[in-house]
Amino acid sequence: MTHIDSTPQSREPLAPLGTTHRSATAVDTLAETYFDHCMALDPSAATFNGIPGHETDYPDYGPAGRAAAAELARTTLELVERAEPQDDVDRVTLHALRDELRLQLDRHEANLDVSVVSNIASPVQEIRQILDAMPRDTEQEWKHIAGRMANIPAALEQYLEGLREAVELDRPPSAPQIVEASQQAEQYASDKGSFAVLTNDPTAPEGVREELRRAADAAREAYRAVARALREEFAPGARESDACGIDDYRLHLASFLGARLDPREVYDWAVQQLLELDAEQRRVAEQIQPGASVPEAMAALTADPARQLHSPEELQAWMQRLSDAALDTLADTHFEITEPMRELECRIAPTHDGVIYYTPPSGDFTRPGRMWWSVPENVSQHATWEETTTVYHEGVPGHHLQIATALANAGELNRWRRMGIWVSGHGEGWALYAERLMAELGFLDDPGDRMGMLDSQRLRTVRVIFDVGFHCGFEIPEVLGDLLGGARAGETWTSDDGWAFLRHNVVMADSVLRFEWLRYMGWPGQAPSYRIGQQMWLDARQQAMAREGADFDLRQFHARALRLGSVGLDTLSYALAL
């Protein structure tokens, strides 16, 4: 997707991670000042980053919070345009900051930054989810949890004000997302929800239990009120469809990639990728069971007792073993992994919505990185052939290696570069690239595990097709033939077409797949950033190989790229060519 510069260029070997010490510049100060202002506006992000002083607060989810974020972007961009870089680190910082701020302001001017309702990435989920990342080793830390829960009613009221602003600006939420989010809010508030779990946590100190109970009760009532408001106030005027249109989609996609691509070109590219993946899966199916189709080979893998896990406890233990083994094997061989980076905890999430996610270490590594698996209540069995590649995606060499490397590069990067920027196309693209990389490195030679990796790649490819096609109003491609699975070739994508297409191509329980289907419709441009980002990582590697020729070293390429932090993909290409 990017032009390859074929000019040969040798590289100096990198010093060991964490051993370089660069003097701070005026550009670093600018970026860190911006970072500090961002953390003040978003206390939840401060908690994720392990920054003290914001333990009980929430962002302002209302119109005032939106306006403050835009003003910060505007004033910071003015400073960026006048800044003079002192070295290549400064040049990358300014490139990344300029791109991020311009995209943020473009979104603001288009009113794409108003409050939203979705099944995965709206304040309905975010307000609760931050509690999972809060430490709970001391009584004071438990008091912080109680204090933040006590502030949930005010945060949710600001969120409702933000939704009212969205309606006034003709950006109302959609009916499908309202239904899902209101059900989630009710589940959070239920007697089995995460607030009730916190209240009954046996590790909570006796002296804070009553405070926890009062705060949890208030949070539960506030979530019930949000569920009612979504159904009664916002549902009557909701949009029937989530489709956003091609103009909005360009901005959504650019924000998630840190690169501006043409949706039509992306769509056509993804169609060709699916055809190639299907052929590759059929070849692997033949290795698993001669003469079998891909579904038949997958069924055989799932039926294999040696590949089955039968409880969340078995899943958690298996995740931890696989993660630990990957860390031990990859450290000091294929990747640079310092001692603090070696701690990665695998946990079962306290929710049941099917999400698998990673929370990073604190900036000083006192809180470890964690991989979370939210197991739906009706799911009791997992097949390891499907999930092996997911552990690599979330852990090492995926998100944990990526984020922890930037954090460990404190001697070179300012805090904004280490903790304040996250671009989905870079981050999720790297994690998906890491899945394929594990196959290249020989970790997925087992045909079952390789089929799982290809299944993951297929999921990420089919959702590019549906996400782009649905939101941009493109025709369903006839060339996919039977792979459409009932989607109507030649017609414009609808949600029903998307469901038929996904069910035919994705191996998931319907309850989990429904969550994914709603996610794609309610979060335009995010899901495609994985597969597009992966391709742009592959392009960056190909560029480096062309530039460096016989001097190219894969380990050094990965180290140099990951030390940059999660910059936009245009910035990644720019930085690697310096």
What span, in angstroms and rounded, lies between the C-alpha atoms of 154 and 160?
Answer: 10
Q: Please give the tally of structural domains in the chain.
A: 1
Res 404 pLDDT > 70: yes
Q: Packing angle between helix 424-440 and helix 528-548, nearest 10 degrees?
A: 70
214 assigned to some structural domain: yes
Q: Give whole-number Cα distances, 274 to 280, 439, 488, 534, in Å.
A: 10, 19, 17, 14
More confident residue, 332 or 505: 505
Q: Is residue 473 part of a domain?
A: no
- Residue 174 in any domain: the answer is yes
Residue 295 has pLDDT above 80, yes or no: yes
pLDDT at 10: 52
Whether 40 is in a domain gets the answer yes
Vertex 482: Cα angle to 481 and 483 (nearest 5): 90
pLDDT digits (tens, 9 = 90+) for 173-213: 999 999 999 999 999 999 999 999 999 999 999 999 999 99
Domain with 248, as residue range(s), is 26-255
% the chain with pLDDT above 70: 98
pLDDT digits (tens, 9 = 90+) for 236-256: 999 999 999 999 999 999 999
Per-residue model confidence (pLDDT) at position 16? 86
Give the separation between CA 6 and CA 543, rounded to whole angstroms: 7
DSSP tally for the chain: helices H, then strands E = 24, 5
Higher pLDDT, 377 or 442: 442
Output the pLDDT for position 8.
41
> What is the pLDDT confidence band of residue 12, given thresholds at 50, 70 and 90?
confident
Asked whether residue 352 is assigned to any structural domain, the reply reads no
Mean pLDDT for the chain overall: 94
**Residue 199 belongs to some domain of the structure:** yes
Cα 204 from Cα 189, distance rounded (Å): 20
Give the 3-state secondary structure percentages of the chain, helix then strand then coil, rounded to 5: 65, 5, 30
Residue 476 predicted with pLDDT over 60 = yes
- pLDDT tens digits, one per residue of 507-524: 888 888 999 999 999 999
Q: Average pLDDT, stretch 413-428?
A: 95
Q: How far apart are CA 376 and CA 314, in angstroms?
A: 15
Sheet containing 344-348: which strands, arranged edge to edge? 344-348, 369-373, 356-359
In this structure, what is the dihedral angle of CA atoms 443, 444, 445, 451, given to the nearest 10 degrees?
Answer: 180
